[in-house]
Structure 1
């Protein structure tokens, strides 16, 4: 009796031990399966990337001359240094720091060069990995912080409404070009939206084309885009976009600057824009003459159409200098 009872106790103990061991192993496997996987670390030797970039473009005797720098970076070197200097001094993200091992991180030159190249050429983030020594996820993060830093540092100077001095300059230039009272040309372009949600594709697609978003701008002769309205679906035409645009908010609220000019002995108090034929026949829009009759009408149509090319040229330069606008936007 004593031996039989002891065997039963041993068997019960073994079963309990096996069960607890199985539960423990299952819990370990579950924890390991749910544990986030660490990214593989790649030693890119970022110091070598900074040294090569410095020797190629920024040393006292660079490999590539300033004209090649201007062509490749889409800006001259003093402007580039102005941007990098302000970013590195006023934006903490672009300040070079040491890590826990005392090793320096990416330099402000590397971060800014990568962001500017992505804006200028619209390529993927890992395109510049072999030269600048930074990965794709890092490159996309640099681009986002670069654009936010530019808006923070230069927005008050460049992303603003025209001041009275700017308005007077635009009026003077317009008068010299034969259009007194003209302050720019207005038009719309379409920006392809690669990652448009499937549920929205019908709203953002015209016919069999790809989904696009409408950008409305007002541009002057010197490519200054001083009004931009972006975000409406491409199924809307220029008139529908104009109905939702804030371009006339200052006039509607009585905040528009006072403008006085004379044409054919008539005094006008509102500035106007040059447009194409789709826009309504308002006093603030001046279109060309579709079928001009006589020398005066032909001359006016020729001058209006040539001057209105300012906005078309602005669209062309915007898409050529910043290919990220022309290509499907990743962000």
Structure 2
């Protein structure tokens, strides 16, 4: 009995000593300063990338003519140069500076081209590395600062609510097309979210589909998207999105311009939108007739459905012009 008890005591002591040694070793290792891995530096010869870009698009005898510039950049050269100039004048990130060795950094044209290429083609961030000689992280920074700069510098002019003059123009266009009081067509589009966090995939996924985000927009015949509401999960349909949308805030708060028009000898003072059948039967929505009966209703349905396609046509042009909208949203983070 005494022999077995002593063996048990020794085993217990050995376990305690092993635990003390392991804990001491872990404390020593954690207390030592961690060696930071050096960042791998690749000499990309950014001057070569800038010279190639300049000779291809911006020199007097550029390789690619103006119509190919618009095709590759999804905008004409004058607009691109205007954007690049404003960004270089007002956003420090796009200002070309020298580093500690006196070497010039990336030029404004260089950075704006990287951002435009990612927007236009929707490729991975390192897809512009071989041509522009810009790394993946730098290309993402270019895209982020480009979007922030555009919103800050051009938002007041282009990302604004329609004014009274704008509504008058929209109403005039609607009247010419046979829809007096119509200010546009409204619909929703789903954008796939590739990098959706795992904790959020349930609310951003419907059925067996991939996670996606809903984009609500109102567009006119000239492809002017004058209302955008973006960011809600795919589990919501058009009606649920409408309940959260600020599209009617101006009407509710009394800021909407007054409208007056006559249809069938009745005077109305509330503008309306053309929608598909999923939207509710509100006075601000004109839906197509699902089962038209007679020549009159059949003709109305035909014109209503063709005119309502304005917003879907705007979605199509937006996706074809800027492929980052059509491709999975790999750049969109949880913020």
TM-score above 0.5, yes or no: yes
Moved more, 36-45 or 136-145: 36-45
Q: 1:48 to 1:213 in 2, by over 3 A?
A: same
In structure 2, distance between residues paired with 1:313 and 1:176: 19
Residue matched to 1:191: 191
Q: 1:29 to 1:246 in 2, by over 3 A?
A: closer
Q: Work out whether 1:157 is the aligned partner of 2:134.
A: no
In structure 2, distance between residues paired with 1:309 and 1:39: 51
Residue matched to 1:80: 80
**Correspondence 1:1-331 to 2 at 5 A:** 30-31=32-33, 34-329=34-329, 330-331=331-332
CA distances 1:148-171 after superposition (whole Å, capped 9, x unpaired):
001011100110000111110000
In structure 2, distance between residues paired with 1:155 and 1:103: 34
CA distances 1:282-301 after superposition (whole Å, capped 9, x unpaired):
11000111111222111111
Please state how far the C-alpha of 1:29 moved relative to its aligned partner: 10
Secondary structure of 1:187 counterpart: strand
Q: 1:259 to 1:59 in 2, by over 3 A?
A: same
CA distances 1:56-83 after superposition (whole Å, capped 9, x unpaired):
1111011111111111111111111111
Q: 1:38 to 1:252 in 2, by over 3 A?
A: same
Bigger radius of gyration among the two? 1
Secondary structure of 2:161 counterpart: coil
Q: 1:168 to 1:103 in 2, by over 3 A?
A: same
Superposition CA RMSD, Å: 1.6
In structure 1, distance between residues paired with 2:85 and 2:128: 22
In structure 2, distance between residues paired with 1:113 and 1:90: 17
In structure 1, distance between residues paired with 2:130 and 2:308: 44
- Structure 1 residue ranges without an equivalent (≥5): 1-22
Please state how far the C-alpha of 1:198 moved relative to its aligned partner: 2.2
Please state how far the C-alpha of 1:27 moved relative to its aligned partner: 7.8
Secondary structure of 1:283 counterpart: coil
Residue matched to 2:16: none
In structure 2, distance between residues paired with 1:279 and 1:181: 18
Please state how far the C-alpha of 1:53 moved relative to its aligned partner: 0.4
Q: 1:36 to 1:297 in 2, by over 3 A?
A: same
In structure 1, distance between residues paired with 2:312 and 2:195: 26
In structure 2, distance between residues paired with 1:27 and 1:299: 81
Please state how far the C-alpha of 1:319 moved relative to its aligned partner: 1.3
Secondary structure of 1:180 counterpart: coil
In structure 1, distance between residues paired with 2:231 and 2:147: 18
After TM superposition, the score normalised by the length of structure 2 is 0.88
In structure 1, distance between residues paired with 2:170 and 2:189: 23
Residue matched to 2:10: none
Please state how far the C-alpha of 1:230 moved relative to its aligned partner: 1.2
Please state how far the C-alpha of 1:52 moved relative to its aligned partner: 0.8
After TM superposition, the score normalised by the length of structure 1 is 0.89
In structure 1, distance between residues paired with 2:43 and 2:56: 22
In structure 2, distance between residues paired with 1:166 and 1:173: 11
Please state how far the C-alpha of 1:235 moved relative to its aligned partner: 1.2
